[in-house]
Amino acid sequence: MSLKKSGHMENAVDFSVMRELAAAIRKETIQAMASIGFGHIGGSMSIADVLAVLYGGVMRFDPQNPQWEERDMLILSKGHCGASLYAALALTGFFPLAELKTLNRPNTNLPSHCDRLKTKGVDMSTGSLGQGISTAIGIAMGNRIKKIDSCTYVILGDGELQEGQVWEGVQFAAHRGLDNLIVFVDNNQRQLDGRLEDICKPFDLQAKFEAFGFDCRKVRGYDVEEIYGAIIDAWEIRGKASAIILETFKGIGCSFAEEADFNHYMVIDEAMAEEACCEIDRRLAEGCVLRSDQA
């Protein structure tokens, strides 16, 4: 995808709007989870900033025409974090914000894991870890064959990279030179049952992607300017698929999630949500998503 054709120019971007959108995604996600009492909070928080960049200034989409053929597409391979994607979609006009309170309830259009047949704006059903990259590659290849100048984005979890299917996909995407594919890795350093280093050491992710033939760079995954800049750079790479490793923290943005030893999935009540939303607003005003001990 060419930067010129995409219609996005760096000097027209208001990063404060992206930061505000990231904060809103976090708050809406927490409130939706609190309304039912539980949710996959850790990973939902750590992808809020990349979602804010994608939906707040990068992706081409039309909420009134979700199936627009020339749209950019996002596949959230770590589909258990669908709550944060639903928040981004609601905040950008795909469906009313009030619908977020139906999260994971009977007959909802917002199930625990992403389902393209239920949720307006979801491009691919996901949740079986490792498979999202394969579907993203299929979409990217199909759009290239149809000569559609769009970009396909996929968000992988760092624990998900232990699935062999991911690396089969990476090798295939590199072989095909899919320069209309950008892979994000939510490197929040934890998976469901512990730290990556203890369960299955990931080693150097950037070196691994580069060894497979990708263009790859690392950014602070909670810094919208760095994320945006990496995407702009990736757009200009010709003949290679790109990977962007988002160095972040599981649960980032609110203390109750950050401080819990097990924060993959948590019980959340209304009082916790209210306190967390105040904290998110305070951190936004202070200009720092991180706690001082994380900086």
Q: How far apart are CA 218 and CA 212, in angstroms?
A: 16
Q: Please report, in angstroms and rounded to a whole number, the separation of the first and last CA atoms in the chain.
A: 34
Q: How far apart are CA 55 and CA 22, in angstroms?
A: 10
Q: How far apart are CA 285 and CA 19, in angstroms?
A: 10
What pLDDT was estimated at residue 2?
38
Encoded tokens for 210: 């580069």
Contact 205, 199 (CB under 8 A): no
Please give the C-alpha separations between residue 54 and each of 19, 136, 253, in angstroms, as whole numbers.
Answer: 12, 16, 18
Sign of CA dihedral 112, 95, 158, 258: negative
What pLDDT was estimated at residue 10?
47
Per-residue pLDDT of the chain (295 residues), as tens digits, is 333 344 444 457 999 999 999 999 999 999 999 999 999 999 999 999 999 999 999 999 999 999 999 999 999 999 999 999 999 999 999 999 999 999 999 999 999 999 999 999 999 999 999 999 999 999 999 999 999 999 999 999 999 999 999 999 999 999 999 999 999 999 999 999 899 999 999 999 999 999 999 999 999 999 999 999 999 999 999 999 999 999 999 999 999 999 999 999 999 999 999 999 999 999 999 999 987 677 6
What pLDDT was estimated at residue 120?
97
Q: What DSSP state is assigned to residue 58?
A: I
* Assessment of whether the complete model's pTM goes beyond 0.85: yes
Q: How far apart are CA 166 and CA 132, in angstroms?
A: 8
Contact 44, 84 (CB under 8 A): yes
For residue 132, what are the contacts with CB-CB under 8 A and spacing of at least 6? 75, 76, 77, 78, 79, 124, 126, 154, 155, 156
Q: How far apart are CA 232 and CA 226, in angstroms?
A: 10
Encoded tokens for 109: 């259009």
Q: To which CATH superfamily is domain 3-286 assigned?
A: Thiamin diphosphate (ThDP)-binding fold, Pyr/PP domains (3.40.50.970)
